[in-house]
């Protein structure tokens, strides 16, 4: 693990990749979740409950958190309104030294509206898609695909436009694409240390969101 000055932590190598092997019966599972608050862990937990733990999968013990924080927020409304609400969140909930990761399953042009609003609000940002480290500069806001954010940490994670058209999958509960989306969203949420925002359009609600427990988040209707 490498700590950068921007509080982002890329996971560069696995133990296996650097030739470290643990004899059978001598490995230990970390019992404490030092990254997430209890509220963030509880929000992500239903997404991975019941899924098979596969080789090299990372499904930590969500009960091992030490810190409390605010409930995650689920923002419901048109994407443009989600982005405008996020600008207010940056002003009201994000500290001057906090890092923010705007994550999306696909990225690319889907960040266009967000980039415009960040520029209009005077918030410097950087793209971390396919990047291993935070670029040199004053930016504390990153735009990244969820896949590229694996192994990184941010103080706040904001996922806007999480719609059914973006995360398409089959109807069966054991559909492999559905399971992949569940794992990916849980991973994205777990990148956050302090706050989480998840936004979607009501007419395009993804069935993945039906797994979330209403008791673990606050809803904002736009």
Amino acid 8: pLDDT? 45
Residue 206 in tokens: 């993804």
- Give the CA radius of gyration of the chain: 17
Question: Residue 4: which pLDDT band, with cuts at 50, 70 and 90?
Answer: very low
Count of CA atoms in the C-beta half-sphere (13 A) of 18:
7
Distances (CA, A) of 217 to 132, 195, 198, 212: 31, 11, 10, 9
Domain boundaries, the chain: 33-221
pLDDT tens digits, residue range 75-90? 999 999 999 999 999 9
Which has the closest alpha carbon to 140: 188, 104, 90, 197? 90
pLDDT surpassing 70 at residue 20: no
Does this model's pTM top 0.95? My answer is no
Tell me, what DSSP letter sits at residue 201?
Answer: -
Which of 2-11, 47-56, 158-167, 188-197 is most confident? Answer: 188-197
Amino acid 1: pLDDT? 32
Residue 19 in tokens: 């030739």
Amino acid 18: pLDDT? 43
CA dist 4 and 6 (Å) reads: 5
Question: Residue 64: which pLDDT band, with cuts at 50, 70 and 90?
Answer: confident
Give the 3-state secondary structure percentages of the chain, helix then strand then coil, rounded to 5: 30, 20, 50
pLDDT surpassing 50 at residue 153: yes
pLDDT surpassing 90 at residue 56: no
What CATH number does the domain located at 33-221 have?
A: 3.40.50.300
Which of 80-89, 101-110, 132-141, 147-156 is most confident? Answer: 80-89
> For residue 69, what are the contacts with CB-CB under 8 A and spacing of at least 6?
37, 38, 39, 40, 194, 195
Q: What pairs with residue 197 in β-bridges?
A: 73, 158
């Amino acid at each position: 693990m490498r700590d950068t000055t921007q509080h982002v932590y890329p996971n560069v190598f696995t133990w296996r990749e650097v030739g470290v092997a643990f004899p059978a019966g001598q490995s230990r599972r970390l019992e404490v979740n030092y990254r997430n608050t209890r509220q963030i862990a509880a929000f992500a937990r239903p997404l991975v409950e019941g899924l098979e733990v596969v080789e090299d999968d990372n499904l930590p013990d969500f009960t091992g958190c030490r810190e409390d924080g605010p409930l995650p927020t689920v923002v419901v409304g048109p994407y443009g309104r989600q982005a405008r609400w996020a600008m207010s969140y940056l002003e009201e909930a994000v500290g001057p030294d906090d890092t923010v990761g705007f994550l999306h399953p696909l990225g690319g042009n889907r960040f266009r509206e967000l980039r415009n609003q960040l520029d209009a609000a005077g918030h410097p940002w950087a793209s971390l898609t396919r990047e291993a480290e935070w670029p040199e500069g004053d930016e504390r806001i990153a735009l990244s695909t969820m896949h590229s954010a694996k192994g990184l940490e941010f103080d706040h994670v904001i996922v806007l436009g999480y719609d059914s058209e973006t995360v398409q999958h089959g109807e069966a509960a054991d559909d492999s694409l559905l399971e992949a989306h569940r794992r990916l969203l849980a991973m994205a949420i777990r990148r956050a240390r302090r706050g989480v925002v998840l936004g979607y359009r009501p007419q395009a609600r993804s069935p993945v969101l039906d797994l979330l427990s209403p008791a673990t988040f606050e809803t904002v209707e736009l």
